[in-house]
């Protein structure tokens, strides 16, 4: 939830992050849920050119499990860091 709050704050102030690292295992929402919420709520074009006509925000999944790489790619992460 904290990640979404920070993203919301940036968008509210007409700014953005260039890269966001998301741990796939977090207490309230996992990285998959945060990415899905971001794509739904803040950028309907799946982070292509955003509302500010800037380059997209890159989302990097952070995990210790190398078996989730395909799941991360299918979910829309730009890269996976193991």
Tokens 């920070």 map to which residue? 6
Q: The whole model's pTM is what?
A: 0.77
pLDDT digits (tens, 9 = 90+) for 6-63: 888 887 787 878 899 999 988 888 899 989 988 887 665 544 544 555 567 889 999 9
Mean pLDDT confidence for 64-73: 92
Up-side HSE of residue 4: CA atoms within 13 Å toward CB? 18
69 has pLDDT over 80: yes
Q: Could you tell me the strand order of the sheet in which 79-81 lies?
A: 19-23, 58-62, 79-81
Q: Are 37 and 4 spatial neighbours (Cβ–Cβ below 8 Å)?
A: yes
């Amino acid at each position: 939830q904290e990640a979404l709050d920070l993203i919301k704050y940036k968008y509210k102030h007409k700014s953005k992050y260039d890269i966001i690292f998301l741990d796939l295992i977090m207490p309230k929402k996992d990285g998959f849920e945060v990415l899905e919420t971001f794509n739904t709520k803040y950028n309907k074009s799946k982070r292509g050119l955003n509302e500010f006509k800037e380059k997209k925000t890159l989302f990097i999944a952070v995990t210790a499990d190398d078996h989730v790489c395909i799941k991360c790619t299918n979910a829309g992460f730009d890269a996976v860091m193991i």
